[in-house]
Amino acid sequence: MLLTDKVCLITGAASQRGIGRATARLFAEFGAKVVILDLDAGQAEAAARDIGPGHLGLACDVTDKAACLAAAREVVSRLGRIDVLVNNAGITQPLKIMEIEPANYDAVTDVNLRGTLYMSQAVIPQMRAQAAGAIVCMSSVSAQRGGGIFGGPHYSAAKGGVLGLTKAMARELGPDGVRVNAVTPGLIQTDITGGKLTDELKVEIAKGIPLGRLGVADDVAKACLFLACDLSAYTTGAVIDVNGGMLI
């Protein structure tokens, strides 16, 4: 199978309907040993149990560099290696430009961008030692078109930063055998978006999407699977849109 015995860390994968959880489930189906990292240890462990036996759930706040380093150390001591990291943890705040206070900017930038840097820094030494690894970073269509329904301008900026960081890491780590790519989801029905979408709004939004529907978490998980496994062996620094054609 595509990910047999690969140790795959996914941040922000505890949320039941989230992209991270769908990715964890799909990776497990393809043979991975999945490590779910999220804010709450109990929820991370429950999510790991939910996808099947042999997976791990650990508490890790990606905004805390020491916590990221500790999580990576624990994974290596328990599972011996780290093959894949999906930097999925993220938060949004639906604010307009003049509503953004310093605390808003810090919170959104910390989870989406700083967290991507810290968690990547935590796994890179192990991937370098293995001379192999794949990092997948979760950006957003908000980075490409400047805003959306749910993310504010600071979210667009942070997710744009994720694209720059992805390319810089891909350039630096390529010679070490480590690939780094990004996914830019469009509007995906998860807890971030789900509860706030009325049926009328969904129909209205779908009219602007060539494939005629909103995305589901599995749509994004499949792109992560491609970028995590050898099917994308010659792909690094790439950005894959999963948005139903929203930007055409």
Binding site for ligand NAD (CB under 6 A): 11-12, 14-15, 18-20, 38-39, 60-63, 88-91, 111, 115, 138, 140, 185, 187-188, 190-193
Q: Is the CB of 11 or the CB of 232 nearer to ligand NAD?
A: 11
Least Å distance, CB 101 to ligand NAD, is: 19
Distances, alpha carbon 32 to alpha carbons 7, 48, 213, in Å: 6, 12, 30
CB of 191 to ligand NAD, least distance (A): 4
39-45: list long-range contacts, CB under 8 Å, 24+ apart.
Answer: 39/14, 40/14, 43/14, 44/13, 44/14
Three-class secondary structure of residue 95 per DSSP = coil
Round to whole Å and give the CA distance between 50 and 55. 9
Which residue in the list 105, 118, 155, 234 is annotated as catalytic?
155
Q: How far is the CB of 131 from ligand NAD (least distance, A)?
A: 28
* 234 flagged as catalytic: no
Which residue's CB is nearer to ligand NAD, number 20 or number 133?
20
Spatial strand order of the sheet with 133-138 comes to: 56-59, 33-38, 7-11, 84-87, 133-138, 178-185, 239-242
Residue closest to ligand NAD (Cβ): 90
Q: Which is nearer to ligand NAD, 181 or 190 (CB)?
A: 190
The catalytic residues are 155
